[in-house]
Amino acid sequence: MSGSFWARRSVALYLLAWLMLGLLIAGLLVATLDAGLGPSLLFAVPLMLCYACACGFSAYYLCRAYPLAEQRLRAVLSVFLFSASSAALLWCALGSAWAALCAWLLPGEAVVEVTRPFAALMFAIGVLLYWMTAVAHYLALEFDRARRAETQALGARLLAQDAELRMLRTQIDPHFLFNSLNSISALTSIDAGRARDMTLQLAGFFRQTLGLEANRKVALREEVALLARFVAIEQVRFGPRLAFEQKLGEGTEDCLLPPMILQPLVENAVKHGIGQRLEGGAVVLVAERAASLLRIRVENDIDPDGRPRSGSGIGLENVRQRLAAAYGVEASVHWTRDKNTFRVDMMLPAETGGE
């Protein structure tokens, strides 16, 4: 039998409650009917445990067959009134037979006698206990239903988050690929050798990213290695005009972050920053760990006389959405521009593989 009510711990607590009730009734029999303690215990405890099993199984299946959310209250009350009355009558009959057997087993002892008033009291107690058991079953089933619904809702949220992460992750490859192919196309007519080198670098880059999964985070050192390969691709086109510098603080290389979360930032820095300057410039990556936070900054030189960027491009928006999907409000990304520099600051929880 399944269900949270019939888990081992719940069954033990259920039978313990009925055992305590049996001891209480045995004490009342001793106090009110002048029966002996031994005969009272022998009469009450087995009888209560037997009725506990009968009530438990009967009420459980009826509660499953007549859920409150799908049945009329009148029909449910009628079914349980009939079932409780039938179970109580059978319990009274069993009690009378058990009392006779106890009297035969314990001759000369002050045994319990099942008189008509006592049988009527047993019947009322039996109906009440059956109804209480049914209420307990309904509560347990409702709790189990709510827990399953919560688990399903959590699973749906996780699936939706995973789908969103995959969608955002797949936006990166075409965006970067289109830009790289345009660059290769431009180099083909100018310098076929450099175009070939860039094609090989591009193939190596995508080969390295094939194993990355959108919902599995990578260490910062792996992300920086991908950035180095990406910069090597761009340096085929820009040559000495493009410089890349990385400053990784202590304890940052093992921190985890979504794969290729920094690549769009560096790509934007190259395309909108270095690419707009005749003399070129540098892209600088800085990572620092402050307690439970990881701070990452990507900054690049820009043309002070060029058109200001609005900050609403695919790369920056993609980064913002991926951080929101992965960390919620625990992560943020902001960008600023001064006269000669464009800066993107990212802050996210400092997670490592051992945490």
Given pLDDT bands bounded at 50, 70 and 90, which one contains residue 32?
confident
d(CA 130, CA 88): 8
Closest CA to 283 of 311, 335, 246, 257: 246
pLDDT digits (tens, 9 = 90+) for 237-285: 788 899 999 999 998 999 999 888 898 889 888 888 888 888 889 999 9
d(CA 255, CA 258): 10
Region 23-50: mean pLDDT is 84
What pLDDT, on the 0 to 100 scale, is given for residue 286?
95
What DSSP assignment string belongs to 262-311? Answer: SHHHHHHIIIIIGGG-TT-EEEEEEEEEETTEEEEEEEEE--TTSPPP-S
d(CA 124, CA 47): 15
Domain ranges of the chain: 4-153, 191-352
Confidence (pTM)? 0.52
pLDDT digits (tens, 9 = 90+) for 183-220: 788 778 887 887 888 888 788 777 776 666 555 788 99
**pLDDT at position 325 over 90:** no
84 contact partners, CB below 8 Å, separation of at least 6: 126, 127, 130, 131, 134
**pLDDT at position 3 over 50:** no
d(CA 274, CA 279): 8
What pLDDT, on the 0 to 100 scale, is given for residue 210?
65
Helices (H) and strands (E) in the chain, counts: 8, 8
Greater confidence, 178 or 331? 331
Greater confidence, 311 or 124? 124
What is the average pLDDT score of the chain?
82
**pLDDT at position 311 over 60:** no
| Token pair belonging to 204 | 């190596």
CATH architecture designation of domain 191-352: 2-Layer Sandwich (3.30)
Region 299-306: mean pLDDT is 84
**pLDDT at position 125 over 80:** yes
Greater confidence, 220 or 12? 220
81-90, 127-136, 233-242, 283-292: range with lowest mean pLDDT: 233-242
